[in-house]
Homo-oligomer: A and B are copies of this chain.
């Protein structure tokens, strides 16, 4: 949370407030739903630890993941306007999540303009990420798409201190990668093998995985401007 809020200068009492709110938090197991499609949106969630994802299951039974959430992300700041959730949110790894009631959140936004600004500042970034995701889904091959997603995740992980220069803990199963990239578990497997062959990534199965420097993965087509802009924390 503090990490994300580097978007804006925070005063000491802003930080104090954040820490206070954040103290009340709950643990979620990997693969546990935080909120389900159809639920009436309740409080605002803030991810403190672990990864989560937004996903939707179609009538056909297939699943599509539309976003990965990392520590510092808050969910549905204002989704309350919609009558009910049009998708679900699920913890990927064991996660710690703070809960803030809607009224409380409103007070915070009113009384702490810095925090409000930071939260609104986070939004266009999420939107840009979604637009990039759409571009990937529409116009990139499966291998490019996979490499691109890894770059995206690497950059984000790094911006909140979860990644070194040349590797980072990658908690995504092939299954969830496939659901995020719009392909089959079978196929993502072959794609990963190919990426490994080309020396772009190095994944170790099962347990948390390692990915090589972005430079290599770039080969597979990450928008460098976008990347640099974000690594230089214009972000």
Query: Using a CB–CB distance below 8 Å, which chain A residues touch chain B?
Result: 38, 54, 56, 58-60, 62-64, 66-67, 78-79, 81-84, 86-87, 120-121, 123-128, 130-135, 137-140, 179, 181-182, 221, 223, 225-226, 229, 234
Distance, CA A221 to CA B63, complexed state (A): 15
CB-contact partner of A62 in B123, B133, B139, B234, under 8 A: B139
Closest B residue to A56 by beta carbon equals: B135
Distance, CA A73 to CA B182, complexed state (A): 29
Among A67, A137, A221, residue most surrounded by chain B Cβ atoms (within 10 Å): A137
CB distance from A97 to the nearest CB of B (A): 20
Q: Are A83 and B130 in contact (CB under 8 A)?
A: no
Q: Are B130 and A130 in contact (CB under 8 A)?
A: yes
CB-contact partner of A124 in B79, B120, B182, under 8 A: B79
Given contacts A137-B137, A139-B58, contact A82 B124 (CB under 8 A): yes
Q: Are A124 and B78 in contact (CB under 8 A)?
A: yes
CB distance from A91 to the nearest CB of B (A): 19
Distance, CA A67 to CA B66, complexed state (A): 16
Q: Are A87 and B131 in contact (CB under 8 A)?
A: yes
Q: Collect the chain B residues with CB atoms within 8 Å of residue A124's CB.
A: 78-79, 81-82
Among A66, A67, A125, residue most surrounded by chain B Cβ atoms (within 10 Å): A66
Q: Collect the chain B residues with CB atoms within 8 Å of residue A66's CB.
A: 131, 134-135
CB-contact partner of A138 in B67, B86, B137, B225, under 8 A: B137
Distance, CA A81 to CA B124, complexed state (A): 8
Distance, CA A231 to CA B66, complexed state (A): 24
Q: Are B137 and A83 in contact (CB under 8 A)?
A: no
